[in-house]
Amino acid sequence: NAGVMQNPRHLVRRRGQEARLRCSPMKGHSHVYWYRQLPEEGLKFMVYLQKENIIDESGMPKERFSAEFPKEGPSILRIQQVVRGDSAAYFCASSPALLASNEQFFGPGTRLTVL
Amino acid sequence: AQSVTQLGSHVSVSEGALVLLRCNYSSSVPPYLFWYVQYPNQGLQLLLKYTTGATLVKGINGFEAEFKKSETSFHLTKPSAHMSDAAEYFCAVSEQTGANNLFFGTGTRLTVIP
């Protein structure tokens, strides 16, 4: 049973370019969460999605960031016009619909470097 | 509002010594509590979790943590450190109902000295 998969594992972009980060949840999981980890910091919640719905985006920057989790395919975190401050590790986590403990299963992360 | 405080961003112990990593939380309602471990350039792996019931929780790799409601703490311990325990450890909380997202502490980097 494959775990949460993220790709790419490393992404380098120049300022002003777009970054697309992909997350495939564990089989049977319909809830996806995105977190950002800045250097030397803990993970900060960004967005929580279920299939075709954004449930909570309270941690998402208001501009340039968007997320989706389509009916088919992986969840995508999209960052437009990247800036150096976007350099971070972006982690995706997933959970099944009815897991009472709120336990989340994390992917290996995508490390974004903005030059 | 939820928040997590991990005292000590860096902890060093000798191999075979007791490991104690501290975590305090603030929450308006009893939370779920988690400890995750992160090895370099990897994702987070769940060590243990507290939801309800017994307040002493045993996890993987010999780690355990005790939920103390009166102290709003969930400290992580291991009786005898192993070299392979060197990693970053994160304490996290979530609400039992409502929001599902996790609130993380800033992490404690554990170094094990041979």
What are the pLDDT digits (tens) for A18-28? 999 999 999 98
CB-based contact (8 Å) between A22 and chain B? no
Q: Does position B87 have pLDDT exceeding 70, yes or no?
A: yes
**Cα gap B56→B62, rounded to integer Å:** 13
pLDDT at B29: 74
pLDDT band at A100 (very low <50, low <70, confident <90, very high): low
User: Across chain B, what does the average pLDDT equal?
Assistant: 91
B interface test, pick of A5, A11, A43 with most B CB neighbours within 10 Å: A43
Residues 52-111, chain B, touching A (beta carbon < 8 A): 90, 92, 94-96, 99-107
Helix, strand, coil percentages, rounded to 5, for chain B: 10, 55, 40
pLDDT at B65: 97
The answer to whether A4 contacts B34, with C-beta atoms less than 8 Å apart, is no
pLDDT tens column, B3-36: 899 998 999 999 999 999 999 998 777 788 999 9
Residue percentage of chain B with pLDDT more than 70: 96
**Cα gap A51→B20, rounded to integer Å:** 40
pLDDT band at B63 (very low <50, low <70, confident <90, very high): very high
For CA atoms B50, B53, B55, B56, give the dihedral sign.
negative
CB-based contact (8 Å) between B35 and chain A? no
Q: Does position A46 have pLDDT exceeding 90, yes or no?
A: yes
Q: Average pLDDT, stretch A56-67? A: 94
| Nearest-CA distance B26 → chain A (Å) | 16
> Which residues in chain B touch residue A104, judged by CB atoms under 8 angstroms apart?
102
